[in-house]
Structure 1
Amino acid sequence: MRPILHGDVAAAARALLAALPHDRDRLCTRLIQEAELADQYVGQTGNLHPLFGNGSLMAAARNRRLADEPGFDDVQYCRCFELVLQHLIRFQISRTHS
């Protein structure tokens, strides 16, 4: 996956916010997998992945419906943002221990 910036996390959180609460964990895992797959594809071919884009988490998230971005006074958005960060932490830890 390409380097992760604030905008990537915000886009992923907006995709999660647009999803049903019971689907969010699985969707977050899928977004990270798609970004990783796309980044590998770009590295091997020099071209964008035809479905998942440039390997950024933002590109993977933007393939889905995004909720309008609320402020951090929205508890559900905060939970989605937190979920993305938790998944990214696990992903980064798994990469360093592989």
Structure 2
Amino acid sequence: MMRPVLHGDVTSVARALLLVDEDARDGLCQRIFVQADQAEEHVRLSGRLHSSYGNGSLMAAARCYNLADEPSFDNTEYCRCFALVLHRLMRR
């Protein structure tokens, strides 16, 4: 299980999603969550950061991808990306 999720984690994943086509967002979101879980497990077992996905946070995993500059919430697509991340969190 990944590290506790903070606001910066959600914004980082949403910024990564903003740069991909709408039909690819759910898959990328899922992949970032899996990578954060893998990194957390690696850190727990080895005491070291994962070489690709970092410390087990969503932010670290998301930063493996290009991130859009953070827009404001008047950007509808950003709101959709942000909501997608929150929905995935709630399903966990």
Aligned residue in 2 for 1:8: 9
Q: Counterparts in 2 of 1:45-64, with a 5 A limit?
A: 45-64=46-65
1:20 Cα deviation (Å)?
1.2
The alignment of Structure 1 onto Structure 2 pairs a total of residues equal to: 91
The runs of 5 or more residues in structure 2 that have no matched partner are none
Aligned residue in 2 for 1:69: 70
Runs of 4+ aligned residues of structure 1 deviating over 2 Å after TM superposition are: none
Aligned residue in 2 for 1:81: 82
CA distance in 2, matches of 1:65, 1:20: 13
RMSD value over aligned CA atoms?
A: 0.5
Aligned residue in 2 for 1:26: 27
The alignment partner of 1:64 has SS state of coil
TM-score by length of 1: 0.91
The alignment partner of 2:25 has SS state of helix
TM-score by length of 2: 0.97
- Which residue type is aligned with residue 55 of structure 2? N
Percent identity of equivalent pairs:
56
1:66-97 CA distances to partner (integer Å, 9 max, x unpaired)? Answer: 01100000000000000000011112xxxxxx
1:29-60 CA distances to partner (integer Å, 9 max, x unpaired)? Answer: 01000001100100000000111110000000
CA distance in 2, matches of 1:44, 1:10: 28
